Amino acid sequence: MTQNKKKILLVEDDSFLISMYTIKFELENFEVVAAEDGEKGLSLAAEEKPDIILLDILLPKMNGFEVLKELKNNKETNQIPVILLTNLSQKNEIEQGLALGAQDYLIKAHFMPSEVMDKIKKVLNK
């Protein structure tokens, strides 16, 4: 019997971080889909219907705020929880992300992958 794996969409332009998080999430028995830019992230969200999206803000082609806005305006993707994972840490950026519908906001420099995993599980178990 195959266990139904939860699927994470990771939208991140840093290939080192993509591989690090992919390894961590796969060890935790998640399926990982990654996109290196905002446009690809948006199309993968609609195609793959992930259980959760980890979204960087500073991205090529389309920034994370624009991606988040589009995700929340599309009835196909507006129910998918989004956690912003970024190095931007200004209060107004955090508030903007949450106002646009993000479930949580994690500053990359402050969180280890295991802590990010804990946040993901918390959001998925709501």
Return the domain boundaries, the chain: 6-121
The 10s digit of each residue's pLDDT in 8-18 is 999 999 999 99
| Other C-beta atoms lying within 10 Å of the C-beta of residue 52 | 21
Residue with the two structure tokens 């993901």: 120
pTM over 0.85: yes
Q: What is the pLDDT of residue 3?
A: 60
Please provide the DSSP assignment of 13-61 as one string: S-HHHHHHHHHHHHHTTEEEEEESSHHHHHHHHHHH--SEEEE-SS-SS
Residue 1 has a pLDDT of 43
CATH number for 6-121 (one of 3.40.50.2300, 3.40.50.620, 3.40.50.410, 3.30.300.100): it is: 3.40.50.2300
Per-residue pLDDT tens over the stretch 20-60: 999 999 999 999 999 999 999 999 999 999 999 999 999 99
